[in-house]
Chains A and B, each alone.
Chain A
Amino acid sequence: MSEPNEPAGASDAPAENTAFLYPFIDSEERDPGPLLVDLAASARAKAVLSKSLAAATIEATSGAVSAAARAMSERFQRGGVLYTFGNGGSSSDAASVAALFSRPPSGQALPARCLTEDPAILTALGNDVGFELVFARQLIAHARSGDMCIAMSTSGGSKNLLVAADEARKRGVLVVAMAGYDGGTLARSPSVDHSLVVRSDSVHRIQESQAALAMQLWRTVQLELTRKAA
């Protein structure tokens, strides 16, 4: 979320006018019963869509996830560090991914951290050099050849992710990109090594599937590391 170019009226927009369904609408409406029934039905439909989209995404991206996990596990084995980043809700999702890799509930803890964790650094860079550079400049400071990054976006159009992907590529950092819709500019960027796209036009459903996708990536990295150790 938080990308400025999200189209209004995504598929599950809550602003749809359902007034005709209720006998007493507007300020005359007093009985919450019909609304609660409708809300619960809507919740069930969203849960169904979320789960099936995640399953379809995992199936459609299995080849790309395997390839990304192989490349990442090789870099982790050689001491590579994973950096994650995104804007808005995607920044917290990127933090979640870093937490999963570095403090996993099971398996090997791996060096991973999110580049949106420190407001002093974000505001210093945003104020002094512009928000388009908040991730690229951190990569310049920290990243080395052999490291890797995951750029998370729903639109695939965030300028600061595109700039960071270019910078990462220049420095020999493996670039994994997650996006929604049709993948946007990010998924097609020549700087991106592995594109994982959730084919949906709902920001919320995209983020839920991206979480499932990131977990699949983490699982596959763990399996690769176990296999290599054996």
Chain B
Amino acid sequence: MTDPAESTPTWAVEGADDADDLAAASLALARRFNAGATMWCVAPQWPEQARHVAVEFVHPVIVGSRALPAVHVGGPGLVDALRALVRPGDVLCAVSPADDREVADAFRRAPAWGALTMWIGAGPRPAVGAADHVLWSDPESDPALAPYDGSLSLRYHMLWELTHVCFDHPGLLTEPEGEVCEGPVCITCSDEGRLAEVVAATGELDAEATVRTGDGIETVDTTLVGPLPAGALVLVHAGSAITVVDEGSHASPDLLGST
């Protein structure tokens, strides 16, 4: 049909405030796929939404588009399942409301797993820092109806469409080089506040713990934090666990910089 938008210009300002977020998320996703990522799709309350995202990428509607690895993960024990599946460089994509505790728990661990996070939803937005990319529906739309009225599928359809546009720009598909070190303090080089997840519980007599970070498995000193349960999140600085990250807080840039 002809573009009805031309006859209804009032739509032009609606539903598009997240266009810049979508653009940034699409380029980030294309870069990750280009480097070999798998996208793990979750939607605990609306599993069909995550299945739709997965089939969108694996079996594209446009003939000739690249088939990309995307997988729906559902069922009980979501965080445990993701912990086993996710590899550094992967992507986690959730379609759920901001108050979904399972998604929030998986996403706060994502930096320790080396995963990029994308959160698609409607209604009240997730807390700042809860995901790397937040693709949120119009604030005026009814969040209870968002999974049914097409506003969420519009967002993941566009994520797919724009990600494929990025593949036509091979020069932009590699992550830019990090900032060059200058001056006496460099956050990157000083190993400041990297998030880590404890792999195995430690006891009173243990001075070290095996942890998982975005770079892989390593051993860190736990003198400052004491015994740790498996799955605990800690901030690691210069080979030491310096603090335990409580549930409900996110590894936001503010927190990482507060060491």
Contact = CB atoms under 8 A, between A and B. Distances in A.
B85 to A, nearest CB: 19
A29 B169 contact: yes
Contacts of A40: 19-20, 22-23
A92 B64 CA distance: 23
A18 interface: yes
Contacts of A44: 12, 16, 19
Contacts of A43: 16, 18-19, 22-23, 158, 162
B161 A46 contact: yes
B5 A14 contact: no
Contacts of A143: none
Given A36-B20, A48-B5, A52-B11, A207 B62 contact: no
Nearest to A24: B171
A224 interface: no
Contacts of A212: 149-150
A42 B165 contact: yes
A47 B16 contact: yes
A203 interface: yes
A207 B5 CA distance: 18
Nearest to A54: B150
Contacts of B60: 1
Contacts of A38: 165
A53 B1 contact: yes
Interface of A is mostly: helix
B156 to A, nearest CB: 9
Contacts of B149: 211-212, 215
Interface of A: 1-2, 6-10, 12-19, 22, 24-30, 32, 35-56, 88-89, 91-93, 95-97, 99-100, 105-106, 114, 154, 199-201, 203-204, 207-212, 214-215, 218
Interface of B: 1, 3-5, 8, 11-12, 14-16, 18-20, 22-24, 26-27, 46-49, 51-52, 55-56, 59-65, 144-145, 147-150, 153-154, 157-158, 160-166, 168-172, 176
26 contacts: A2-B59, A15-B65, A15-B164, A18-B165, A19-B168, A24-B171, A35-B23, A35-B27, A36-B20, A36-B23, A38-B165, A40-B19, A43-B22, A43-B23, A43-B162, A48-B5, A50-B15, A50-B154, A89-B55, A100-B148, A105-B144, A106-B144, A154-B61, A207-B153, A208-B153, A218-B148
